[in-house]
Amino acid sequence: MAINTSMEQLGKVRSAIRDLFEYGNARAEIIGRENVFDYSLGNPSVAPPEQVKETLLRLVTEEDPVSLHGYTSAQGDKTVRLKVAEDLNQRYGLKISPDCLYMTCGAAASLTITLKALSCPGDEFVVIAPFFPEYRVFIEMTGMKCVVVPADLEHFQINMEAFKKSINEHTKGIILNSPNNPSGAVLSDEILKETMDFLREKEKEYGHQIFVITDEPYRELVYDDRPVPFMTKLYRDTIVCYSFSKSLSLPGERIGYILVSEEMENFGNVYAAVCGAGRALGFVCAPSMLQKTIADNLGITSDLTTYRVNRDLLYDALTSYGYDCVYPDGAFYLFVKALEEDAKAFAERAKKYELLLVPSDSFGCTGYVRLAYCVSTDMVKRSLAAFKALAEEYLKS
Ligand code: PLP
């Protein structure tokens, strides 16, 4: 009996990141965890705020368990959505209602629901390299074509010339991700303005909407006082995909939301399509206890100090050893130019020093490696000698 071969293929081929992570675990069993410098996975290394624990304890001990663990509305508990809307209105000067929000199991669910809601046969969706590898999987799963805009290798913003060429009458939308995984870059106001102006022009020319999906799990993870603008204020046809995975260090709890801008002309239909896609994909009623937990922990983050310290340590040390690094304004990733053309070969050689670095190929960009520095500062310090030795090996040859 035939089964879905593309799904079979997806299940059989592990992502490069997961592969490396598993390699690290196997290596740790042989040489000890403390001797492996694992920079593979974007798993937050700082604990959720104490307040999150207090909320969970209060919910479990004081709330009616039947209601606490029961189903909420498909799109999420109304009181929770009201609190999320109020928080966003207050922090970003918006005027949104709870009825533009759909609670989800994290950014991955937010993205798959949104893409499913928007997709029609023949549509194209644009991603800006380097990008989170799952974008391709999520887009292609809907039957849409994933169009990759090559990286701007100078500032890791958007290569505007290539971007403009990628937009055509089949373009349904683009995904933006700022702060970015894997580069750590934050999109500048100028680039955002130019991008939005261009899309508005193209909407007029083609006579249909071009949606901007803004994938924002790292919204609050910025280190140099670089405010990240709220995209619905810049562009009417925006859908925000948010997650509490990184800001509150809750990736395993699977909680986030979709926000459909109420400014868009056909808001009612698009929001209905989001609810429909959530239903079709079985993503109704995000985890009830977690919805209630985040409602009492809005506008706060885990302690981000460790990430900033790690960023500074790594950036300063690696550049002093001769590595060329993209200066990361946000997220918790450092994107480093490989010391040979083939990033995979470079990452392989790094393993000799027990350094686990992700080659950039799966991010849609060749010649770099990604370091997820959401690790202990102690590990960062202990790994510096290995980075130095690796650089020296290349200098010698
Ligand atoms: N988008 C980006 C850019 C990410 O880096 C990640 C996770 O690392 C996700 C989406 C998925 O986030 P979540 O764990 O909330 O599903």
Residues 287, 312 within the same domain = no
Residues 249, 307 within the same domain = no
Residues 91, 215 within the same domain = yes
Ligand 1 close to Cβ of residue 173 (< 6 A): no
Contacts of 200 (CB under 8 A, 6+ apart): 235
Residues 169, 71 within the same domain = yes
Residues 123, 244 within the same domain = yes
Residues 269, 125 within the same domain = yes
State the pLDDT confidence band at 234, using cuts at 50, 70 and 90. Answer: very high
Residues 193, 333 within the same domain = no
Per the structure, how many domains does the chain have?
A: 2
State the pLDDT confidence band at 53, using cuts at 50, 70 and 90. Answer: very high
CA distance 188 to 350: 33
Structure confidence by residue, pLDDT tens digits, 159-183: 999 999 999 999 999 999 999 999 9
Whether the bond between 98 and the residue before it is cis, its omega within 30 degrees of 0, is no
Q: What is the pLDDT of residue 312?
A: 97
Residues 275, 147 within the same domain = yes
Query: Of the residues 267, 295, 323, which one is the last residue of a structural domain?
Result: 295
Starting at the earlier edge strand, list the strands of the sheet with 358-359.
333-337, 368-372, 358-359
- Predicted TM-score (pTM) of the model is 0.96
State the pLDDT confidence band at 15, using cuts at 50, 70 and 90. Answer: confident
Packing angle, helices 106-118 and 267-280, rounded to 10: 120
Query: Of the residues 249, 275, 295, which one is the last residue of a structural domain?
Result: 295
CA distance 153 to 317: 22
Q: Where are the beta strands (DSSP E) in the chain?
A: 37-38, 101-104, 124-128, 145-149, 171-176, 211-215, 238-243, 256-260, 333-337, 355-356, 358-359, 368-372
Ligand 1 close to Cβ of residue 110 (< 6 A): no
CATH number at residue 41: 3.90.1150.10
Q: What is the DSSP letter of 321?
A: T
Query: What range defines the domain where residue 268 resides?
Result: 51-295
Taking a C-beta distance cutoff of 8 angstroms, is the pair 108, 139 a contact?
no
Residues 344, 373 within the same domain = yes
Residues 252, 108 within the same domain = yes
Q: Is the pLDDT of residue 19 over 90?
A: no
Ligand 1 close to Cβ of residue 245 (< 6 A): yes
Taking a C-beta distance cutoff of 8 angstroms, is the pair 147, 135 a contact?
no
Taking a C-beta distance cutoff of 8 angstroms, is the pair 369, 357 a contact?
yes
Closest approach atom of ligand 1 to CA 131: 3
CA-CA distances (angstroms) from residue 2 to 5, 137, 245, 304? 8, 21, 37, 49
Q: How far is the CA of 232 from the centre of ligand 1 (A)?
A: 20
CATH number at residue 129: 3.40.640.10
* Choice from 103, 128, 246 to test ligand 1 binding pocket (greatest atom count within 8 A of CB): 246
Residues 45, 141 within the same domain = no
Q: What is the pLDDT of residue 392?
A: 96
CA distance 396 to 374: 31
Residues 150, 233 within the same domain = yes
